[in-house]
Amino acid sequence: MKLGAERDADVKVTETGRILVLTHEAQSDSPLLDELSERFEVVRTDSFAAGLRKLREEEFSGLFLFGEKVAAAALAEAGGVLEQVDDGFALLDQDLHVFWCNAALQRLSGSKAPTVGRNFYELFGTPEILGPDFCPFHTALGSGETAKSTLRVGEKSYFEVQVTPLFENGAEIPEFLIVVVRDISTEVLQQQKLDAIYQAGLELGDLSAQELMDMSVDGRIEL
């Protein structure tokens, strides 16, 4: 696979054949695209959403990413960057179904089944939403702004979830949601221990010396 760049275009071509061109409508007329059409069968899309759908439904020999805004996110995935990080990344549709995710998200969720097409919450079983935003996905869809929340799975697993809406070509409603999931279990459990120690200190301060002497060993340990 070859990866090259020319002016404001990025090209990833595997072999001669069908090439998917992902660009903005305003940039659809270009000598670079005309030259590409002479060498390959070119299929053009003018939105990120349409391009993703075609990549899932059809076979292409290469991907042509035209324009900095288009290339930035797509090349990150194409180069495998998102597969190298510990945080989970996912692209959800408006119904919260997984359109794409990296390997880290599947590992964090503990799901063994395929993730694409499944509801995001379903991946984590029945997580408890701790806030501060108790409906982060609906907040992102409704407000058009990033929302955050914390999920608890089981007794000792905690995940910070950040949801960012992705708009296409000036649309008022987000086409997709970009989700970042970070495992914060160690931080939360450590804070819980510190809070317990602090609370125990307060309770000890309320006891007199005689009350402490009268307590059993088990009582002192429990305190």
**Domain ranges (residues) in the chain:** 2-78, 82-183, 192-222
Position 45 scores a pLDDT of: 78
Low-confidence ranges of the chain (pLDDT < 50): 1-15, 26, 68-72, 75-76, 79
Position 107 scores a pLDDT of: 93
Torsion angle (degrees, nearest 10) of CA 114, 120, 124, 126: -130
Assigned token pair, 127? 């997580």
Burial label, 193 (beta-carbon count in 10 A; 0-12, 13-18, 19+):
exposed
pTM of the prediction?
0.61
- Domain 2-78, CATH 2.30.30 — does that match? no
CATH of 82-183, one of 3.40.50.880, 3.40.50.720, 3.10.20.600, 3.30.450.20: 3.30.450.20
Position 206 scores a pLDDT of: 60
Position 100 scores a pLDDT of: 86
Task: Strands of 73-189 (E only): list them.
Answer: 88-92, 98-101, 128-132, 147-153, 157-166, 176-183
| pLDDT tens column, 146-183 | 999 999 999 899 999 999 998 876 778 888 898 999 99
Q: Which letter, b or e, does each residue of 1-31 get, where b requires 16 or more Cβ atoms within 10 Å of its Cβ?
A: eeeeeeeebbbbbeeeeebbbbbeeeeeebe
The number of residues making up the chain comes to 223
Give the torsion sign (CA, 155, 156, 160, 163). Answer: negative
**Fold match between domain 2-78 and domain 82-183:** no
Position 81 scores a pLDDT of: 58
